[in-house]
């Protein structure tokens, strides 16, 4: 890097003394090309792409039901939208651009279908996580009570893998409360399950990545 920048003049504030912005950009690009190892970049990019292919394949298999629902809804929405919207849109669209009308209708239909399908999946995931969390909470509480010799309803665990009536009651109650809280909170947000303000100012890159992944695995 020092050798590549040896012919560049710099002021005390770090700016170039004898180069325009265009020449400075070209000079900096030239420095990058001289100092970067292209083989390492190629290997790193290939490794990232291979990893992403594996991750996307797992996600497509894991969310196959969501993908199928999304594609089915998109097909139905597009069929109805083309019947209802394509004729009036062709009337107001210039002749040279009418070929884009079916494509735009298809994109919008697919976006709406994906939104609905993933919202349904989020509700199912919320119910599953609530049930699992309630069961974990109940098992931990009962384990703590049993270590202190406290028996709830006189239940004694015969099999470590089995559950007692008290565990089922506590787990179902806590899980139902958790699921109700999530649904009650998300009802006003149309079940988007988005991160609330101001935390979304920090998590917005992850939200964009999530949207892109959802679109990628359901694009077929």
Distance CA 184, CA 161 (A): 33
CA atoms within 13 A on the CB side of 165: 6
Which DSSP state fits 96?
G
Overall pTM surpassing 0.75 (yes/no): no
Distance CA 142, CA 152 (A): 8
Instruction: Name 130's Cβ contacts closer than 8 Å, sequence gap at least 6.
Output: 175, 176, 178, 179, 182
Where b means 16+ CB within 10 Å and e means fewer, 195-206 reads eeeeeeeeeeee
CA dihedral (63, 67, 72, 77) positive or negative = positive
Going residue by residue through the chain (220 aa), what tens digit of pLDDT does each one get?
Answer: 445 454 555 554 555 555 677 777 787 788 777 777 778 888 888 888 888 888 778 877 777 778 788 888 888 998 999 899 888 988 888 888 888 988 899 889 888 888 888 888 888 888 888 888 888 888 888 888 777 776 665 555 544 555 677 777 888 888 888 888 777 777 766 666 676 677 778 888 888 887 788 777 776 5
């Amino acid at each position: 890097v020092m050798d590549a920048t040896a012919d560049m003049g710099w002021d005390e504030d770090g700016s170039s003394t004898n180069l325009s912005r265009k020449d400075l950009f070209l000079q900096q690009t030239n420095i990058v090309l001289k100092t970067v190892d292209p083989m390492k970049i190629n290997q790193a990019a290939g490794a990232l792409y291979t990893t992403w292919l594996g991750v996307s394949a797992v996600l497509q298999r894991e969310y196959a039901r969501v993908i199928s629902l999304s594609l089915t809804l998109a097909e139905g929405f597009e069929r109805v939208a083309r019947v209802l919207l394509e004729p009036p849109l062709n009337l107001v669209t210039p002749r040279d651009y009418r070929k884009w009308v079916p494509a735009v209708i298809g994109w919008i239909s697919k976006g709406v279908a994906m939104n609905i399908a993933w919202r349904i999946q989020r509700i199912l995931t919320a119910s599953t996580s609530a049930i699992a969390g309630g069961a974990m909470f109940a098992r931990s509480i009962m384990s703590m009570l049993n270590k202190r010799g406290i028996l709830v309803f006189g239940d004694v665990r015969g099999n470590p893998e089995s559950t007692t009536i008290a565990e089922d009651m506590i787990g179902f109650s806590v899980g139902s409360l958790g699921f109700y809280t999530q649904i009650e909170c998300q009802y006003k947000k149309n079940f988007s399950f988005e991160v609330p303000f101001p935390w979304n100012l920090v998590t917005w890159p992850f939200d964009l990545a999530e949207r892109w992944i959802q679109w990628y695995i359901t694009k077929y």
